Amino acid sequence: MSNEPQRGNNFDHWLDSYAARANTLSVSEVRALFAVVSRPEVVSLAGGMPYVAALPRELLEASFENMMSERGNFALQYGGGQGDLRLRDQIREVMALEGIHASVEDIVITTGSQQGLDLLGGLFLDAGDVVLAESPSYVGALGIFRHYEAHVEHLHTDEAGLDPDALEASIKQLRGEGRRIKFLYLVPNFGNPSGVTLTEERRHRIVEICRREHILILEDNPYGLLYFNEAPPVAMRSYEEDCVIYLGSFSKILAPGLRVGYVLAPPAIRDKLVLANESALLSPSTFTQMLISEYLEKSDWKGQIDTFRGVYRERRDAALGAMQEYLPHLQTTRPDGGFYLWVTLPEGIDSKAMLPLAVTELVAYTPGTAFFANGGGRENLRISFCYPTPENINLGIKRLATVINRQTELLETFGAI
Amino acid sequence: MIPGAQRDAQLRILVLSGGISHERDISLKSGRRVADALTDAGAHVILREPDENLFDNIAQDQPDVIWPTLHGASGEDGALREILALTGVPFVGATADGARLAWDKSIAKVLVARAGIQTPQSITLPKDTFRELDAEGVLNQVSKHMAFPVVVKPARSGSAQGVTIVDEAAHLSRAMIDAYVYCDVAIIEKYVAGTELAVTVINEGAGPIALPAVEIEPTSGKFGYDERVVAGETNYYVPARLDQSVLEKAAKLAIQVHEELGMRHLSRVDLIVDENGVPWFLETNIAPGLTETSLTPQSIAATGASLPQVYLSLAEAAKLGRG
């Protein structure tokens, strides 16, 4: 037995060796759920997993065969840090659907748009810098901003998206306090987790404000093509090239397992992104880039997006129908695209504390607290309708109602509501 | 290993992990670690999840011993152990009765108190009490009876979920609500300030022994669920930084609790040592975490013993009906 008491963090003998920023890493509230939701009995309304089963396997199999026979040696080799030229050219066609016209030179391929965000964080954020964000905001982005020790300031957001008046007021206040604002981070279309879409009028005002105030907008748009009725307003990047950095992804319109996203940035920033990408990865996966390129070349990818829209529309309808049937008194957003409903619970119910109870009732969701950097969101939860079948969505929300009603009864017992 | 016992050429051990609880992930990790260690020790190990095929799998696998590593109600409330007992295959850890009694902290406290072990004064109240009687009136009575601060916790739950330290009567209502989220019965316990210890007790067949105590020092002053799962929130010390005489008292208490509650081969007793060096029993863990960062493997490592050999000895003791 050792005579010297050990000091440790989770018995980590290297505790004193870590960089200070390692302390910014924490367990995602979503991650702990992954183990539970893998059980078939549990209806997961938690993770935002695309329904890849709606992607005919033969489409990718044919792409794979073509790629290997025509460019196999290149696909298995290192590539450039900016990404495959043919794919970048094809991405222009994808972005054109959102109103964006850009040069292949300004596109950088990344390992999912998440890595694009990380590269941008590394390039721009010093400790204490401020990132402005919606309320609520994407959990994956918050993790990156936290890792770079930035302060996230959540701004008032409603059914029309981020409020430009709140943006102006916040900039004024923060600058008055001597704070340095680096980004405005937005998921303007069918936001994660809110499902809300930023209106066209607000987009123009926000661009105008950020241009005037010299603040970069990170326009993160993984869901824009997954609309159910009408396409959302065109991307902000389509009318503002200098202060908008646009992030796109193949995770939702094709498959997340391929891990391919892209960043469209002003030339000077793009140069730095390429260098940062080379430094981090040497090159993004040539194999998956060329596979996607082949898919875009030979398949009816727009038709496939239509198929995805139909699948998710049906599931959105199932989710809203079940909310109306089992939890009609709760407020929920009504997204016209994307993957998520944002639900407001009766006052006093804590979505994070309620989660273990929900799991025992065989339903999982994501607590609202995951989407705030400031501890907010306890009264909210996110329902993902993208992955479960409509029948399971109904069952999951029915189970959720049992849990919420039990909590409501408990609060009533103690006169808390 | 039991002195003089003949070690089997290759013990067949079925390790069960997973289950449906918020601790599923920890259980899966514990199961994999136990399976790896037992394999390293030379056992033939099958790692499975208890599901609708459990009986068929046991019939097919024909294990000599089963090691359940499920946490939370699915593994610790005695139900799974009752089922395992029906199969006739010996298993590691508490009996079904022992698990049932220890899983409910209010019952465990009564039993250990009757055995003369110190445990903080407490009141146990089912949720229905507040519904049937006037909630405010009940809370007022509790507040008069108990000196603050108090600890409010669910009677049956793990990982410190739903646990609140309440400094004043005004906050008691919210703490009760938070506890009832996890269980229909809650305990209001006198708060004992001091040093928190976790003492693992094992029985390899020759009688229970207490392993070096782990001292838990939450940087926030509280060892709740977040502190348990978020890196950087807690410092651990093993052996604990207390006088040897105090540690011996803590070890004695842990062994007493282990035997009193029928924990057999393995348990982890959580206790607190007050400023006078007196250990107080808080709760027993029927299926302590066995991941690489869990307290029990760290205690075993602190003895200098081989983790695989200790695990194998526990499995052998179970097979021989010892412990």
In a mutagenesis test of the A interface, which of B129, B181, B220 is the best target, namely the one with the most A β-carbons within 10 Å?
B181
pLDDT band of residue B304 (cuts 50, 70, 90) is very high
Name the A residues in 32-51 with CB < 8 Å from any B CB.
32, 34-36, 39, 41-42
- CATH 3.30.1490.20 residue spans of chain B: 122-190
Q: What is the pLDDT of residues B242-290, one digit of tens each?
A: 999 999 999 999 999 999 999 999 999 999 999 999 999 999 999 999 9
Separation in Å, CA of B116 to nearest CA in chain A: 31
Percent with pLDDT over 70 in chain B: 93
Residue B72 DSSP one-character state: S
pLDDT, mean over chain A: 93
Structure tokens at A296: 């875009």
Query: Closest-CA residue in chain B for A409?
Result: B131
User: Quick check: A100 and A235 in contact, CB under 8 A?
Assistant: yes
User: Quick check: A368 and A376 in contact, CB under 8 A?
Assistant: yes
Q: What is the pLDDT of residues A54-73, one digit of tens each?
A: 999 998 999 999 999 999 99
**Taking CB atoms and an 8 Å limit, are A414 and B25 in contact across chains?**
no
Q: Report yes or no: A416 at the B interface, CB cutoff 8 Å.
A: yes
What CATH number does domain B101-118+193-304 carry, 3.40.190.10, 3.30.470.20, 3.90.1150.10, 3.90.1300.10?
3.30.470.20
Q: Residue B86 above 70 pLDDT?
A: yes
Q: What is the pLDDT of residues B160-183, one digit of tens each?
A: 778 899 999 999 999 999 899 888
Cis? peptide before A390, omega within 30° of 0: no
Q: What is the pLDDT of residues A321-338, one digit of tens each?
A: 999 999 999 999 999 999
Query: Closest-CA residue in chain A for B293?
Result: A10
Name the B residues in 200-229 with CB < 8 Å from any A CB.
212, 229
Query: Closest-CA residue in chain A for B178?
Result: A353
Paired sense of beta strands B266-273 and B195-203, if any: antiparallel
Residue B230 is nearest to which of A2, A11, A26, comparing CB atoms? A26
Cβ-proximal residues to A72 (8 Å cutoff; 6+ apart), any chain? none
Q: Report yes or no: B237 at the A interface, CB cutoff 8 Å.
A: yes
In this prediction, residue B232 carries a pLDDT of 56
**Taking CB atoms and an 8 Å limit, are B20 and A34 in contact across chains?**
no
Q: What is the pLDDT of residues A74-113, one digit of tens each?
A: 999 999 999 999 999 999 999 999 999 999 999 999 999 9
Residue A58 DSSP one-character state: H
Q: What is the pLDDT of residues A280-315, one digit of tens each?
A: 999 999 999 999 999 999 999 999 999 999 999 999
Q: Do the interacting molecules here have an ipTM over 0.90?
A: no
Residue A161 burial (10 A CB sphere; 0-12, 13-18, 19+):
buried
Task: Kindly list the structural domains of chain A, giving each domain's residue range(s) and its CATH number in brackets, ordered by start.
Answer: 19-55+303-413 (3.90.1150.10), 79-298 (3.40.640.10)
- CATH 3.30.470.20 residue spans of chain B: 101-118+193-304
pTM, two decimals, is 0.88
Measured CA distances, B233 to A10, A169, A372, B133, B216 (Å): 9, 36, 20, 40, 11
Q: Report yes or no: A77 at the B interface, CB cutoff 8 Å.
A: no
Q: Report yes or no: A402 at the B interface, CB cutoff 8 Å.
A: no
**Taking CB atoms and an 8 Å limit, are A356 and B181 in contact across chains?**
yes
Q: How far is CA B234 from the centre of its chain?
A: 19
In this prediction, residue B293 carries a pLDDT of 83
Residue A227 DSSP one-character state: B
Structure tokens at A291: 């596979």
Residue B304 is nearest to which of A1, A11, A27, comparing CB atoms? A1
What CATH number does domain B122-190 carry, 3.40.50.150, 3.30.1490.20, 1.20.1440.230, 3.50.50.60?
3.30.1490.20
User: Quick check: B118 and B254 in contact, CB under 8 A?
Assistant: no
Q: Which amino acid is at A283?
A: S
For the beta sheet containing B150-154, the strands, ordered from the edge strand earlier in sequence to the opposite edge, are: B122-126, B185-190, B150-154, B164-166
Q: From chain A, pick out residues whose CB is under 8 angstroms from the CB of B24.
A: 35-36, 39
